[in-house]
Chains A and B, each alone.
Chain A
Amino acid sequence: MAARAEADLRTRLQNWIPKLVLSPSLAMIFVFVYGFILFTLYLSFTDSRMLPSFGWVGLENYSKLWRLSHWEISLTNMGIFAGLYIVVCTVIGLMLAIFLDQKIRGEGVLRPLYLYPMALSFIVTGTAWKWFLDPGIGLENTMHLWGWESFSFNWIKDRNYAIYCLVLAAVWQTSGFVMAMFLAGLRGIDNEILKAAQMDGASNWNLYRRIIIPQLRPAFLSAFVILAHLAIKTFDLVIALTGGGPGRATELPATFMYSYTFTRNQMGIGAASAVIMLMTIAAIMIPYLYAELRERK
């Protein structure tokens, strides 16, 4: 009897172990992610300034936020930056992947060269780009020394063009990674179908347009999700490259939130802007994750 009871206890214990093992991670996620989200959400309805305080002000922070020209500029910049960044990265990534897929000699050398920027910190690459784009010492100066006196390239100092410098540096950082995603997709395509279509006399252009690119749909979707998510999170690059300037020309929501929360002592407004950032990402990620998890079941 005792032996059986002991065996019973052991099986029951065995059933509990997996859940026990999972629970510390789950507890951390629930507290540090979801608990914190609720806390920030709550703060966005309070009169918190330098420190969290709990005077309820309803939607006041949100209405203030939407009246701030600083926030409006951040959002406009985000639109320009994210739109261009996603499109240019996708186009370059797809083009390089298709080109690299043509039985290229030296593919093994080129691929890592395209990809290594992804391993670097934005603070590192921002330092390099800032210098390269600076008219006084960078590209413009070099061109003048090389004899092209009329060459002018001062985007980083120009309110209207500085945002494109961000796009340039960000595209440099991630387009190689997008290339790798498309290349993996291309390598998964069945060559037999292509051979058959070739026999029927289809041109290369039509092969890509009609057969190959449509089959890359999952890679397009993944690239979009990853790039959109990276774009909304962009913070270090702005700090290293432009510091948000000239003026506010390169402020993004992430830098807005940081400065309102930690340097301008407007924590309530900072929290409200963080909530809006989260909702934007959730609108993109939740349908994607839902579809992914359902398929995997």
Chain B
Amino acid sequence: MAAATQGTAIRTGRVARTFIYLVLLLFALFYMLPLYVMLVNSVKPLSEITGGGMMNLPEIWTVEPWRKAWSEAQIGVQPTGLKPYFWNSIKMVVPAVAMSTILGALNGYVLTKWRFRGDTILFGLMLFACFIPFQIVLIPMARVLGVLGLAGSTWGLVLVHLVYGIGFTTLYFRNYYAAFPTELVRAAQIDGAGFFQIFWRILLPSSGPIAVVSIIWQFTNIWNDFLFGASFAAGNGAPMTVALNNLVQSSTGVKEYNVHFAGAILAATPTLLVYIVAGRYFVRGLMAGSVKG
């Protein structure tokens, strides 16, 4: 990966370079624009927003919209703000990410170091499961969650995200462990180490990078999910994305745009933080899911 930081050997003239910088900067502005608009307008009083001038900095700075979005806004029946739904999302994301990553690691270990007849076909079936349009499972899933008594609950969503996340986590760990020297595993086996001992002592200590990738990938996907949340947990158990949508789409009363924006940023904060802290791994993770690793 030494080449990863250096550019092409192509040489460009001064005019071309100026043009290139210009285009790159314009696109940077394009990508920043919505975030800027949201941030700036989330700290303005409503009167300033309805007066127009969405690009202007606020004349009066206020954190009131943020407070309101967090703890006062009318989302469901009660004016609870987004706070309880934020915690719903946390309670959904943490177990779902942890369980799917652990299972993915074990599956990847089996599929690379304990291969058996037909394992590629089984892996192919798991992999295809990552790409199905989820509409195809919505109806039976709603029935099953109802039968299990998990409809509308956070645990129901944990189950759903666990099931539909395993394919991706298995893919990551399988690709990563495929490059791990199998001789080490065989040597440990001859020394009498068992299945779990080998996993625990030999593979797991070097799994840090791929575990980070898997956790980030799962975290962003599950946190940002809307379809499952809206289908299976619309009431008090709703995750943050569904609550935010309810807040923004609610048709009663005056539209408080500043509160909507503060809420939108609140909903975006966890994934943005994860991205800022571990962005480089995030990119690599996305790549591992698409480009051959």
Binds B, one of A62-70, A155-163, A186-194: A186-194
**Bound state CA distance, A236 and B24, in angstroms?**
29
Q: Which residue of B lies closest to A286 (CB)?
A: B128
- Give 1 or 0 for each of B237-275: 1 = CB within 8 Å of chain A CB: 000010011001100000001001100110110011011
Let me know if A36 and B137 touch, CB within 8 A. Answer: yes
Q: Sort chain A's interface into a size bin.
A: 35 or more
Nearest chain A CB to B192's CB is how many angstroms away?
Answer: 10
Let me know if B133 and A25 touch, CB within 8 A. Answer: no
Let me know if A123 and B267 touch, CB within 8 A. Answer: yes
Q: A32-B163, A104-B7 are in contact. Are A96 and B27 (CB under 8 A)?
A: yes
Let me know if B17 and A120 touch, CB within 8 A. Answer: no
B215 at the interface (CB under 8 A from A): no
Let me know if A138 and B54 touch, CB within 8 A. Answer: yes
Nearest chain B CB to A271's CB is how many angstroms away?
Answer: 6
Q: Which residue of B lies closest to A37 (CB)?
A: B136
Q: Which positions 97-150 of chain A face chain B at CB distance < 8 Å?
A: 99-104, 107, 110-125, 127-129, 131-132, 137-138, 141-142, 144-145
Q: Sort chain B's interface into a size bin.
A: 35 or more
Nearest chain B CB to A8's CB is how many angstroms away?
Answer: 15
B138 at the interface (CB under 8 A from A): yes
Among candidates B122, B135, B223, residue contacting A273 with C-beta atoms closer than 8 Å: B135
- Give 1 or 0 for each of A181-199: 1 = CB within 8 Å of chain B CB: 1001111110100110010
Q: Which residue of B lies closest to A182 (CB)?
A: B291
Q: Which positions 268-291 of chain A face chain B at CB distance < 8 Å?
A: 270-271, 273-275, 277-278, 281-282, 285-286, 289-290
Query: Which residues of B lie under 8 Å from residue A296 when comparing CB positions?
Result: 178
Q: Which residue of A lies closest to B8 (CB)?
A: A101
Query: Which residues of B lie under 8 Å from residue A95 when comparing CB positions?
Result: 23
Let me know if B291 and A40 touch, CB within 8 A. Answer: no
Nearest chain A CB to B139's CB is how many angstroms away?
Answer: 6
Query: Which residues of B lie under 8 Å from residue A92 when comparing CB positions?
Result: 27
Among candidates B12, B33, B134, B138, residue contacting A102 with C-beta atoms closer than 8 Å: B12
B114 at the interface (CB under 8 A from A): yes
A88 at the interface (CB under 8 A from B): no
Q: A21-B106, A123-B241 are in contact. Are A194 and B8 (CB under 8 A)?
A: yes
A39 at the interface (CB under 8 A from B): yes
A152 at the interface (CB under 8 A from B): no
Let me know if B224 and A121 touch, CB within 8 A. Answer: yes
B110 at the interface (CB under 8 A from A): yes
Q: Which residue of B lies closest to A123 (CB)?
A: B241
B86 at the interface (CB under 8 A from A): no
Query: Which residues of A lie under 8 Å from residue B122 when comparing CB positions?
Result: 22, 26
Let me know if A33 and B132 touch, CB within 8 A. Answer: yes
B74 at the interface (CB under 8 A from A): no
Query: Which residues of A lie under 8 Å from residue B274 when comparing CB positions?
Result: 119
Q: A128-B38, A184-B287 are in contact. Are A17 and B24 (CB under 8 A)?
A: no
B184 at the interface (CB under 8 A from A): no
A213 at the interface (CB under 8 A from B): no
Judged by DSSP, the binding face of A is helix
Most buried by A among B20, B129, B264: B264
B194 at the interface (CB under 8 A from A): yes
Query: Which residues of B lie under 8 Å from residue A110 when comparing CB positions?
Result: 24, 28
Nearest chain A CB to B217's CB is how many angstroms away?
Answer: 11
A151 at the interface (CB under 8 A from B): no
Q: A19-B116, A121-B223, A129-B34 are in contact. Are A281 and B131 (CB under 8 A)?
A: yes
Nearest chain B CB to A61's CB is how many angstroms away?
Answer: 13
Binds A, one of B45-53, B77-85, B90-98, B203-211: B45-53
Nearest chain B CB to A199's CB is how many angstroms away?
Answer: 11
Let me know if A233 and B128 touch, CB within 8 A. Answer: no
**Bound state CA distance, A262 and B133, in angstroms?**
17
Nearest chain A CB to B282's CB is how many angstroms away?
Answer: 7
Query: Which residues of A lie under 8 Å from residue B9 when comparing CB positions?
Result: 191, 194-195, 198
Query: Which residues of B lie under 8 Å from residue A225 when comparing CB positions?
Result: 290
Among candidates B110, B143, B241, B290, residue contacting A52 with C-beta atoms closer than 8 Å: B143
- Give 1 or 0 for each of B111-137: 1 = CB within 8 Å of chain A CB: 100101000101111111101111111
A207 at the interface (CB under 8 A from B): yes
Given contact pairs A32-B144, A112-B276, A219-B291, enumerate 10 new A-B contacts (beta carbons under 8 Å). Answer: A22-B122, A119-B282, A121-B223, A121-B224, A128-B264, A141-B54, A180-B287, A204-B12, A254-B133, A285-B131
Give me 26 A-to-B residue pairs in the complex whose CB atoms sit less than 8 angstroms apart, sorted by A's number: A32-B144, A33-B164, A36-B136, A52-B139, A100-B24, A102-B17, A103-B8, A107-B7, A112-B279, A119-B271, A120-B272, A121-B271, A124-B241, A124-B264, A127-B264, A132-B37, A144-B52, A176-B31, A189-B8, A194-B10, A235-B226, A278-B133, A285-B128, A292-B292, A293-B120, A293-B127
Return the 3 tightest CB-CB contacts between A and B, nearest first.
A18-B114, A121-B224, A128-B34
